[in-house]
Amino acid sequence: MSNNRWQVSPEVAGALGENAIIDSSTHPPKVGRLHCHFDGWLGDDLLEVFPCFLVSERLARAVQQSNLTGWRLATVEVTKGMEFEELYPNRDLPKFSWLQVTGDSAADFSLSAEFRLIVSEKALRLLRCFIIENALIEPANEP
């Protein structure tokens, strides 16, 4: 079993929307309610809207059926902006869930000191079964 850890920088498809509830007095901001406003979407199943991560319904199902550790799923409100509608007039978005990273460095999902997504080799194998073409994946500099 490999102990390799990987930093994954997912596609950024939008920003926090106006209905998000955020405490920005801390870094990273604490999000109580997530609203993601999409400006575009290249099709990846794993997305980032700092400081949060989104997973498509099909990736969420796979994570739920796995024995991976360090995560929990929550609901997210998703809206499409005018720019999205202009770029992709006939594109529907899949249902997304908020992937809340709860693990420490021994878990399959964790965060680096810079709040980057860190995954185990096992988690990366699962992610690679899905569309993550626009994610930057590199060895983590974590111990």
pLDDT at 1 over 70: no
> Could you give the angle at the alpha carbon of 28 between the alpha carbons of 68 and 37, nearest 5°?
80
Q: Tens digits of per-residue pLDDT, 97-117?
A: 999 999 999 999 999 989 999
Q: What is the DSSP letter of 49?
A: E
Domain that holds residue 13: 5-139
**What is the rounded CA–CA span in Å between residue 116 and residue 7?**
7
Q: What mean pLDDT comes out for the span 108-128?
A: 96
Instruction: Give me the pLDDT at residue 26, please.
Output: 85
Task: State the pLDDT confidence band at 142, using cuts at 50, 70 and 90.
Answer: low
Query: Residue 27 burial by CB count (10 A; 0-12/13-18/19+): exposed, middle or buried?
Result: exposed
pLDDT value, residue 2: 54
The predicted-structure confidence for 25-43, as pLDDT tens digits, reads as follows 988 889 999 999 999 999 9
**Taking residues 3-32, what's their average pLDDT?**
91
3-state secondary structure of 18: coil
Cβ neighbours of residue 134 closer than 8 Å, sequence gap 6 or more: 10, 11, 42, 43, 44
Asked if residue 119 lies in contact with residue 4, where contact means CB atoms within 8 angstroms, the answer is: no
Count of domains in the chain?
Answer: 1
Averaged confidence pLDDT in the chain:
93
